[in-house]
Amino acid sequence: MLEIKDLVTEYGSVKALNGISLVAHEGKITTVIGANGAGKSTLLRTISALEHPRSGSITWKNKSIVGLSPEKIVRLGIAHVPEGHAVISQLSVEENIEMGALFRMRSNKADVRLAIQEIYQLFPRLEERKKQLAGSLSGGERQMLAISRALVSRPSLLLLDEPSLGLAPLVVEQIIQTVNDLCRNTGLTVLLVEQNANTALGVADHGILLSLGTVAADLPAAQMKADVALRAAYLGY
């Protein structure tokens, strides 16, 4: 279980997160929705230690992870796919995937090879293009690659930041469905940040609505999806 209490993260004098508390249960998809600037990305970046919180606590499996480095946090089984199809364009598809497993290549080479095989089964298109530079991929393929880079580390918690950004609806559907399958079949815990609230709430177990750095609502996903007044007030539709 990922448990966050009273988390405050600041950029200069701006409080991007102003006292956030939430829980993401193991083997479930928890989605964080909200308008631009609500603090969704900052939340994920603070969990993976790309940003340092001013106060508050983050515990994963009952251990505090505040103050650790991003490199260390990956080793605890938390993988973050940042916003914007974060792959390294100048490296090949194969190298982008391998990169995610470098830290455990020496200790567990056989499993790394297996994990890479599984990823190619999940996204056959990546295997076809494995020698190409990541920069030559389409937006959807790049997002698949970014997720693969995270999955090859065999995470137990996946932090996914706006996977739907800039992608065609059909591709979004496919990616979200893959994440859903992974969660249901392997027990992966997912914290999914999305602006596309309908799609996210469609697959999630639980919904957290952020507004201006605070939690505006914390409800089961189905209930949040059905709450027309809430969505009108915070998301504008």
Partner 1 sequence: MDIFLSAIFAGTSRGAIYALAALGLVLVWRGAGVVNFAQMGQAMFSTYIASTLIAQNYSYWVAFVVALVSGGLLGALVDLLVMRPLNRKRSSSALDSPAMRSTIPVIASLGILGVLQAAAGMIWAAEERGFPTPVNSLGLVINGKIMPFTAFDLFVIGIVFVTLVATTYFFKGTGMGLAMRASALNPEVARLSGIRIGFVRTLSWVISGVASSLAGLLVTPSANLSPYTLDLILIIGFTAAVVGGLDSLLGSVIGGFALGLLVSFVNVYDAPEDIFLAILIVLLTVLIIRPQGILGSKEVRRV
In the structure encoding, which two tokens stand for residue 77, read together? 């089984």
Segment holding 208, helix H or strand E: strand 206-211
- The residue within the footprint of partner 1, chosen from 85, 154, 225, 231 (CB under 8 A), is 85
CB 142 within 8 Å of CB 87: yes
Q: Are 99 and 149 in contact (CB under 8 A)?
A: yes
Helix/strand/coil for 38? coil
Among the listed ranges 20-28, 55-63, 75-83, 215-223, the one in contact with partner 1 (CB under 8 A) is 75-83
Nearer to partner 1, 104 or 125 (CB): 104
Which of 108, 136, 186, 198 is in the footprint of partner 1 by CB under 8 A? 136
CB of 90 to partner 1, least distance (A): 5
Q: What angle do CA 69, 87, 112 make, to 5 degrees?
A: 70
- Residue 79 in the binding site for partner 1 (CB under 8 A): yes
Best CA proximity match to 102, nearest among 83, 90, 115 = 115
Q: Give residue 24's Cα distance to chain centre.
A: 12
The tokens for 62 are: 């009952």
Residues in 116-135 at the binding interface with partner 1, rule: CB under 8 A? 133, 135
Q: Does 40 bind partner 1 (CB under 8 A)?
A: no
> Does 88 sit near partner 1 (CB under 8 A)?
yes
Q: Note whether 39 binds partner 1 by CB under 8 A.
A: no
Q: Which stretch binds partner 1 (CB under 8 A): 98-106, 174-182, 198-206, 220-228?
A: 98-106
**Residue whose CB is less far from partner 1, 105 or 114:** 105
Cβ 21 vs Cβ 4: under 8 Å: yes
Cβ of residue 89: shortest distance to partner 1, in angstroms? Answer: 4
Cα–Cα distance for residue pair 4/7, rounded to 1 Å: 7
Does residue 69 touch partner 1 according to CB under 8 A? yes
**95's tokens:** 């190298």
Query: What is the binding site for partner 1 (CB under 8 A)?
Result: 48, 50, 69-71, 74-75, 79-80, 82, 84-91, 95, 98-100, 102-106, 133, 135-136, 139, 142, 149-150, 153, 166
